[in-house]
Structure 1
Amino acid sequence: MVRKFAAIFCVLILAGCSSVYRNHGYVPNDEDLSQIVVGVDTRDTVADVVGSPSAGGVLDSSGYYYISSRVRHFAYRRPEVVNREVLAISFDEAGVVSNIERFGLEDGQVVPITRRVTETGDTSNAFLQQLLRSLGNFAADDLLE
């Protein structure tokens, strides 16, 4: 009986340490992309053929961006991006497809995120100090009205 419980416990421990993969986003496959003709198709036909993009450019003349990533979660460790793919479809000023490009994780650059904190003008006084100072700044006549 003890051996059965020990075996079940070991199996549960090993199952808890297995990797979990999560997929995020969507990138059209090559079969769908072969239907898009550079210099002929427009924004509307691209959206009809391969679907709406994950992201679009800020300007109207910018392209469509389809983004997909696969993230590995393992036990207590930080999640790790295993695969990332970006499909960029560029358009000219008339809204016609001018270029189709694929980028992978190996093409990217790591951009460090910095947290900038705006300093306030009055950092020497704590909240309670400011509250106690303001108690003496009103007259008794103000309370009666």
Structure 2
Amino acid sequence: MALVGLVGLAASGCTSIRETRGYIVDNVLVSSVQPGIDNKQSVEGMLGRPTFTSQFGEPTWYYVSSVTGRKPFVRPRIENHSVLAVQFDAAGNVASAERTGIDQVVYLSPDGDETPTLGRERSFFEDLFGNIGQVGAPGAAGAAGPGGP
């Protein structure tokens, strides 16, 4: 009997873990957003506050939802991803409401452990001792010291 319990406990450790992140999509509410009829107040009343809003261009509210699944000790995999973009006109009325899915997700691969920068590479000692003699040198900013001449 103990063996059956041990096998059951071991098998439960291998089940998939599902996590929902962001906006929880309610298809009935999302489909009820009507261009030309709704405005910012009615959209906020139906869907709640957006995940984020646009900073430039036409005012747009984004509702982002993602469902991931993973096995223990394995990197999470996106199972479902959706974005609802509600665009408003200058008067605050809904101009359009578009839904996109995982087909619009871009996967980025970082290039190693360092961020590439412009300029020349400096060694540790150049960084450490590079400013010796530069502080207070003639023509350098702040050469007169505190208080000025």
TM superposition score normalised by structure 1: 0.70
What is the identity percentage for the equivalent residue pairs of Structure 1 and Structure 2? 27
AA aligned opposite 2:106: V
Runs of 5+ unmatched residues, structure 1: 135-145
2:7 corresponds in structure 1 to 10
Alignment of 1:1-145 (within 5 A): 4=2, 6-33=3-30, 35-59=32-56, 61-105=58-102, 107-114=103-110, 116-118=115-117, 123-126=122-125, 130=129
In structure 2, distance between residues paired with 1:86 and 1:77: 26
In structure 1, distance between residues paired with 2:8 and 2:25: 39
Question: Are 1:27 and 1:87, in contact at CA under 8 Å, matched by a contact in 2?
Answer: no
Deviation at 1:27?
4.6
C-alpha RMSD over aligned residues = 2.9
Structure 1's 60 and 48: CA in aligned 2 closer, same or farther, altered over 3 A?
A: farther
Question: Are 1:66 and 1:88, in contact at CA under 8 Å, matched by a contact in 2?
Answer: yes
AA aligned opposite 1:39: G
Larger Rg over CA atoms = 1
AA aligned opposite 2:46: V
Structure 1's 80 and 38: CA in aligned 2 closer, same or farther, altered over 3 A?
A: same
Deviation at 1:109?
3.6
**What number of residue pairs does the alignment pair up?**
128
Structure 1's 125 and 90: CA in aligned 2 closer, same or farther, altered over 3 A?
A: closer
2:145 corresponds in structure 1 to none
